[in-house]
Structure 1
């Protein structure tokens, strides 16, 4: 009953707490809604195109835990085996190749694949070798000529017919020369479920059989691929949003309860038992936190749409993406908001309930013991955890070390926030040193007031600490990693010139051949890019498959020419041993020289390879195979770039004129790679930080408003002592600036410590691994925090100081 009466009489005082809980719940539920929408591919089109006429689509089974990797191709010869299955009218391998026309890249297929799509001719005849069938959108009539560049060079194909839809089809023989089988489409003349079951028995565990609506997952959909690529990034963003929300809500709620020490003292003085005070606070937290968390979880729905819009503007998700409202993310936001509110009230309630009545009155005036056992324990725990992660990161492989140290800054933020009552006095003395020698009462009041009310300063500085600390550590970590990667590339790239594709996916074989013919004394290295899928054993303890990070992009190289154009950092083994049947692996894989690795290539063939060398994971790719291996398994593989050493730029340009490539110097190539990385980093920051920093900005305003309104009696005392309203405002504004500077100081310390740990981890591979402290973002964040803090303190203080001092002192 007392709790309800308190809520009715003090609802305005609890408004700041309700705002913090509501916005925190909204941030959590909105991030969860966004992540759920990405996982469910909300808004992605599911129209069948490539396999519209196929009853069943068969792909290779993913043999690793990498859920973001595309499905591998089916095993070789599968179509022949499926053709004899009862109920199968036809089993057609879908051969896909990538080619380049004058207007850009295009995907082509073998003519047999037209049956899978339900495509038909409207004019002309089916393509023979050296011919093509195209859609009307190309504007080429039957009998015309189509210039096509594939992995092995340029071809002039005669157009034999036109399709009833967009597309490019060549003879099955030409398609087999230029591409690989990506799936097998099955046309059935029996019930689909029965045929699919028979296909599964023939294909075994190495295939995935898709029927009905599931067939759309075999379709190449750029929107779906984009969402798949964004999944891990947005997962980190959701975790960061949860951390920020929990941190701010807990800090704000605990501060709100600690502001009411005088009220608790009076209750104890009139006979209330400690358990009654605690019970009242818990009930208030349950009612206020529950109502605010419920409202905030619903507010997460529009917040998720706003965040999705910002991600669309950053081109991190497709424009069609629209997260749907789901129950579990809303429940998650409500539950976390309520639980954090209860936890935030727990410590302050216990402290208020334990204090004897007379001491409670004294405790209400001056905070004598700002550090509790809980703050000591958890503060030192988080601090020790951050230091331990930095130490461990210096002893393990690069990839794991980087992952371990990227989020160390958040641990330092929490540790500094918990230990703030201990850390603040020396920080305040240092930051306010100019005030100590300043003349007048105002500087003295600002400095001594902050030193006296350490807990208030700690609570109000907490949102500043998390705003600047999280932004600084995350931006700094990405910048430090980018700088190290860029420095590593510049140090290891020894080629004089780099040939890059002009608006296409890769460089075809005609380019390095032309360069070598024109400049026979030059060293020409043209690594071929392909994809492999690691076949990993099942963990006997039920933990999934034991992968080694091999699945993904691979380069086929000639070690002799590669070493003379790019100084690959070999951790163990030797590139001299890279022969057919071998592979190099990254240092984070846990594999050693001589270890076996089973991979599936682009043509569906599976081979057991031996590790020839372990390569630093900071290289552009650390998984290498012999170039002849790539040519044997992926005839469509092209070079992402060609490296040339020992020739003039003019000679190289003359050799490749008209082949659709550009020739740039090694410095320009490094600059372009760095620019691409920086653009990607900026997009990643949008996803990682997103609205979390907006929320912390609102938290700064909310917390300082609560603190300013709580200082009514202090401002009244200033007025009664003879201070003018302008002097009172200057005192409040001075403390607000001091709070921001103190919070920023601790945030900079957290940022620097975390970046030193990351640089130490990177230093095992890169000689020039130096921490990049993002001073400009930190400065901008500080300015924003100062503006918000001054607005949240000066305006309410000015309003209160205009009232008569007696009325202000008597205000509830």
Structure 2
């Protein structure tokens, strides 16, 4: 069988080129994604930065620990607790103790002032030696208005206007790359940031541990001192986003490659009916025919998988450089190399081989059922458009897609809004429609005017399997583009509408640097005449669900009386005005969400409380969170101020007074709803574009391969058109019309799948009491359809023009036989 398969591949290499290229590309992508995932499984241990030279760092409680029947559950606290005063006193008896403080430095606009970076962070000068920072010019700060800055953006003697008053730069230090530091005199830093969350102790580590009471305080030595740096988990968070990006791309690659390879083998087998019929006439059994097809797939699979692994080894480092240059990964991230391991290549190779054999399995079964009489067939018209296997498989997948959608809407509509769900769910419906494509394409083929239009439709209907093979990859690409980009656009519009509905304020004030507003600025905003001001803080609460799962929920802290007048929250039960220091407002997705119930919670600083539920909010798009009073904010600072203009007050004057406060951004309610709504993560958008790029490449491969395989059997039709007097231009126009008609049918099927998927998401939004939205990305669909049409048209015209050069015209054809003499 292998020898027969090898000779078949040598003589019919053009028919298998598309399968080979598609499979090799798929294996290469799987190999690259596997190496990318291997490189992103674990972040390297980052060395300590700010306290690299400190012997011991003592840090206040920053981990919540809750005992459950299934063991201890832990969660990182949003705001660590200050080191207890008693612990600080005990540590001072062991050796020198240096208190650390960190706070944002807000620069003001002033003529002649140096252009400062936007992320300045302040520290006491006494902590600079632990990084270590060394003076490159000037001296240490002594007075309250003196500072030392890192980096080369300013010089000694410069004036630095800030929201806390003007500062004089009396010294500079070389920047170390991980922060833009501003060092104050210790006394001034203590006034700006009174709480001491961590401190450096110059004493023996064992003595420090003995002196620290068991109150959650952590003693950091060696490499663990990196946990005292700002955002020590940033590398792990970046790798999590990369895992999602590469995992999605790898999954779609596998799906599309299986689809293309399976459809290619199925179409190739269907075009070889006469060949298999001749084998049956020569005495071949059905099993031998099936083994021949599988042997062909085995040879193609081995060669393509090996080629794909080689391509993957070459392309992996390029992808690593691309994501680093694009800011999606840390600078140390790299893909490939000697330590990458061989498992990604093994996974890619065996996946490719399995895809080849699996894609050919159904085709081989059909090939084995070919009757010897097929050798006598001359007609190119397809018989039954849809086999019972495709009919049953398509119907089963269609019912499964409908049933799972209905179940999700009935039990957990919020799951339909998650990225993993709206990326994976369309594939089920796409596969179902693709299996039923031979039946669905026929009624979508329009009756075009003119002889060319009539012939184009007749050719497409006569070769309905070929038409379905062309329409199917278009369906996949258009449906993926519409479903994925439409899902993000639908969620974006729903969130925007939700924000507009819930905002009753005339103005929203936020800090320009994205941190929190100082208390004095909040007081200045409250003193603006003719306003009602509601200051809120972003915080979080932890709950224990089912007695074993420690769940973090986003929350906001606000004065309930002011909140009710500046916001329109979607309350489903209870009263928002009943919120006090002993209660909480929750959403319907909480395990306990009945008014009057008491729920144990842990605040953002780890404080344990038992609060009474006074109101319940609708889930919405998932951005609605819990509400508590400022007493339960866990030390969170004000990050948003909603301002409502009182009746009779001058709106323009109020806006001017609000903008006069330094360091704030003032927007009206509508602008804030548009600009402040959550946006899809950059990695999510790039992941979707990567998925669509992969789908479009596979579409081009599938279209070219299908049209090349179909060119040979169209020779008799072209000869007939030539004999009927058709010119080359007319035949090319006929081929173009037929191709574009079939592409349009595939695009319509893709649009149908997109509409169904987005309709399910819109129904979920309605059930969640969110503003229903259904956004079809017409631009993306039009561009995708145009790209598919261009690829198909290029392949069709190229193969038709090649065939025309080999087909004699009616004028050039000489009659056979003897000439008749007069």
TM-score (norm 1): 0.83
Aligned equivalents of 2:450, 2:524: Cα separation in 1 = 80
Q: Which residue of 2 aligns with 1:809?
A: none
1:525: how far off? 1.3
| 207 and 295 in structure 1: CA distance in 2 versus 1, 3 angstrom threshold | farther
Q: Which residue of 2 aligns with 1:510?
A: 520
1:604-643 matches, cutoff 5 A: 605=607, 607=609, 609-615=611-617, 616-618=619-621, 620-630=623-633, 633-634=635-636, 637-643=637-643
Structure 1 unaligned regions, length at least 5: 807-812
Q: Which residue of 2 aligns with 1:779?
A: 782
Q: Are 1:418 and 2:424 counterparts? A: no
1:750: how far off? 0.3
1:226-625 matches, cutoff 5 A: 226-229=238-241, 231-304=243-316, 315-317=327-329, 321-324=333-336, 326=340, 327-359=342-374, 362=377, 366-396=381-411, 399-403=414-418, 404=421, 407-428=424-445, 432-434=446-448, 438-440=449-451, 442-519=452-529, 521-530=530-539, 532=540, 534=542, 536=544, 546-550=549-553, 553-593=554-594, 594=597, 596-601=599-604, 603=605, 605=607, 607=609, 609-615=611-617, 616-618=619-621, 620-625=623-628
Point out the more displaced range, 110-119 or 740-749: 110-119
1:567: how far off? 0.7
- C-alpha contact 2:55 2:202 (8 A) present in aligned 1: yes
| 451 and 80 in structure 1: CA distance in 2 versus 1, 3 angstrom threshold | farther
1:132-281 matches, cutoff 5 A: 134-135=149-150, 137=152, 139=154, 147-149=161-163, 154=164, 167-170=181-184, 171=186, 174-175=189-190, 178=193, 189=204, 211-212=222-223, 215=226, 218=229, 220=231, 225-229=237-241, 231-281=243-293
Aligned equivalents of 2:478, 2:141: Cα separation in 1 = 65
Q: Which residue of 1 aligns with 2:30?
A: 28
SS at match of 2:589: helix
SS at match of 1:349: helix
Aligned equivalents of 2:578, 2:384: Cα separation in 1 = 67
1:698: how far off? 4.3
1:364: how far off? 9.0
Q: Which residue of 2 aligns with 1:100?
A: 106
Q: Which residue of 2 aligns with 1:810?
A: none
1:273: how far off? 1.5
SS at match of 1:718: helix
Structure 2 unaligned regions, length at least 5: 109-115, 810-822
- C-alpha contact 2:198 2:228 (8 A) present in aligned 1: no
- C-alpha contact 1:499 1:642 (8 A) present in aligned 2: yes
- C-alpha contact 1:56 1:186 (8 A) present in aligned 2: yes
- C-alpha contact 1:111 1:172 (8 A) present in aligned 2: no
SS at match of 1:518: coil
- C-alpha contact 2:531 2:654 (8 A) present in aligned 1: no
| 682 and 139 in structure 1: CA distance in 2 versus 1, 3 angstrom threshold | closer
| 479 and 357 in structure 1: CA distance in 2 versus 1, 3 angstrom threshold | same
- C-alpha contact 2:49 2:229 (8 A) present in aligned 1: no
- C-alpha contact 1:569 1:619 (8 A) present in aligned 2: no
Aligned equivalents of 2:437, 2:197: Cα separation in 1 = 59
1:201: how far off? 11
- C-alpha contact 1:737 1:786 (8 A) present in aligned 2: yes
Q: Which residue of 2 aligns with 1:6?
A: 8
SS at match of 2:549: coil
What is the aligned residue count? 771
- C-alpha contact 2:575 2:614 (8 A) present in aligned 1: yes
For 1:763, which of 763, 766, 783 is the aligned residue?
A: 766
SS at match of 1:639: strand
| 756 and 207 in structure 1: CA distance in 2 versus 1, 3 angstrom threshold | farther
| 1:295-351 CA-partner distances (Å, limit 9, x unpaired) | 223323554556566656765445665433533333333232221111110001011
Aligned equivalents of 2:513, 2:423: Cα separation in 1 = 34
| 172 and 334 in structure 1: CA distance in 2 versus 1, 3 angstrom threshold | farther
Q: Which residue of 1 aligns with 2:49?
A: 49
Aligned equivalents of 2:85, 2:293: Cα separation in 1 = 70
Q: Are 1:800 and 2:800 counterparts? A: no
1:169: how far off? 3.8
- C-alpha contact 1:512 1:524 (8 A) present in aligned 2: no
| 1:443-467 CA-partner distances (Å, limit 9, x unpaired) | 3332223223222222221211111
| 62 and 417 in structure 1: CA distance in 2 versus 1, 3 angstrom threshold | farther
| 765 and 217 in structure 1: CA distance in 2 versus 1, 3 angstrom threshold | same
SS at match of 1:101: coil
Point out the more displaced range, 159-168 or 687-696: 159-168
SS at match of 1:168: strand
- C-alpha contact 2:466 2:706 (8 A) present in aligned 1: no
| 727 and 187 in structure 1: CA distance in 2 versus 1, 3 angstrom threshold | farther
Point out the more displaced range, 582-591 or 732-741: 582-591
- C-alpha contact 1:548 1:590 (8 A) present in aligned 2: no
| 1:476-519 CA-partner distances (Å, limit 9, x unpaired) | 11111111111122222111122243455444333332232231
| 1:147-170 CA-partner distances (Å, limit 9, x unpaired) | 544xxxx35678787656563344
- C-alpha contact 1:61 1:71 (8 A) present in aligned 2: yes
SS at match of 1:590: coil
Computed over aligned residues only, the root mean square deviation of the Cα atoms, in angstroms, reads 4.1
Q: Are 1:672 and 2:672 counterparts? A: no
1:138: how far off? 6.7
Aligned equivalents of 1:241, 1:182: Cα separation in 2 = 48
Aligned equivalents of 2:207, 2:353: Cα separation in 1 = 52
Aligned equivalents of 2:332, 2:762: Cα separation in 1 = 40
| 605 and 313 in structure 1: CA distance in 2 versus 1, 3 angstrom threshold | same
SS at match of 1:524: strand
For 1:742, which of 742, 745, 767 is the aligned residue?
A: 745
Aligned equivalents of 1:755, 1:459: Cα separation in 2 = 26
1:245: how far off? 3.1
Aligned equivalents of 1:201, 1:273: Cα separation in 2 = 83
